[in-house]
């Protein structure tokens, strides 16, 4: 299985801040990486696919980059609705695997 | 707009079989991968397996032979069965849609539409 490691596990930030979450794969996954946002009691919501493609309807303050083994999710200017947990997921090879999550908290 | 509606029992005893369904509304059944994912309390999601419109399946080896995913094209539903459950199977179970991308003869997909989730608790 391809292990996905996110950092940090918890991130404290303020509205208006620029934040970056990192996701590392134990082996190359090309660009087959997705990012999801999850709020308590809700299903994950797709934000980014193929490392850097923005899902329809997702605000442009979200962006993704990277390829191979290192990827980042950046939120350019945090809004109150962005405080949630974020997961990366590789879909390069089976079984598909997720990171352990990054909880974005209000400072 | 496609919606996935989940159904099934949420409280099981050890050794019983978990059985969940996912009905697809407002969208095409063909041309996608249909998946099951679970999320134990406080943990990240875990991909359980997939099925295509033609009924081809692939499962997470971690579940060994306990998992079965099936499809009913006449009712636009697919199902998950997980046998011999234990407390370790306690989780929120989600169904999701995977739009495929073809590259060099292989298919890759992320999950773009999710059901709302079913909380499954295994307890004696």
pLDDT in tens, A4-32: 999 999 999 999 999 999 999 999 999 99
CB < 8 Å to B41, chain A: none
Q: Encoding tokens for residue A26?
A: 């134990």
User: What average pLDDT does the segment B21-48 reach?
Assistant: 95
Question: Following DSSP, what letter does each residue of B23-84 receive, concatenated?
Answer: EEESS-STTSEEEEEEE-TTS--EEEEEEETT--EEE-GGGTTSEEEEEETTTTEEEEEE-S
Q: Is the pLDDT of residue B64 over 80?
A: no
User: What average pLDDT does the segment A35-62 reach?
Assistant: 98
Say whether A49 and B110 touch across the interface (CB within 8 A): yes
Nearest residue, CB atoms, A87 vs list B44, B58, B60: B44
Question: Given this model, what pLDDT does residue B9 score?
Answer: 87
SS3 A81: helix
Question: Looking at chain A from residue 41 to 80, which residues have their Cβ under 8 Å from any Cβ of chain B?
Answer: 42-46, 49-50, 55
Say whether B114 and A92 touch across the interface (CB within 8 A): no
Q: Is the pLDDT of residue B29 over 90?
A: no
Question: Given this model, what pLDDT does residue B85 score?
Answer: 97
Nearest residue, CB atoms, A98 vs list B45, B96, B115: B45
- ∠ at Cα B112 (B110, B115), nearest 5°? 120
Q: Is the pLDDT of residue B42 over 90?
A: yes
Question: Given this model, what pLDDT does residue B28 score?
Answer: 85
Q: pLDDT (tens digit, 9 = 90+) per residue, A63-107? A: 999 999 999 999 999 999 999 999 999 999 999 999 999 999 998
The minimum CA-CA distance between B60 and chain A, rounded to whole Å, is 5
* Distance from C-alpha of A43 to C-alpha of B48, rounded to nearest angstrom: 16
């Amino acid at each position: 299985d391809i292990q996905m490691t996110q950092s940090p596990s918890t991130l404290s930030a303020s509205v208006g801040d620029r934040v970056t979450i990192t996701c590392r794969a134990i082996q190359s996954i090309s660009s087959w990486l997705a990012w999801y946002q999850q709020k308590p009691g809700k299903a994950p919501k797709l934000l980014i696919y193929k490392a850097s493609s923005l899902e329809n309807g997702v605000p442009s303050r979200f962006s993704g980059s990277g390829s191979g083994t290192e990827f980042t999710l950046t939120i350019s200017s945090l809004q109150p609705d962005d405080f949630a947990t974020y997961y990366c997921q590789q879909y390069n090879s089976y079984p598909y695997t997720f990171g352990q999550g990054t909880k974005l908290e209000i400072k | 707009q496609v919606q996935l509606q989940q159904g099934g029992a949420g409280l099981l005893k050890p050794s019983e079989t978990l059985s969940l369904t996912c009905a697809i509304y407002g969208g095409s059944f063909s041309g996608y991968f249909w998946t099951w994912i679970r999320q134990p309390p406080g943990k990240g999601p875990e991909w359980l397996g997939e099925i295509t419109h033609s009924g081809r399946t692939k499962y997470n080896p971690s579940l060994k032979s306990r998992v079965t995913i099936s499809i009913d094209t006449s009712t636009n539903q697919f199902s998950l069965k997980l046998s011999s459950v234990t407390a370790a199977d306690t989780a929120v179970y989600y169904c999701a849609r995977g739009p495929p991308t073809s590259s060099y003869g292989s298919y890759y997909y992320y999950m773009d539409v999710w059901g709302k989730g079913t909380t499954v608790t295994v307890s004696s």
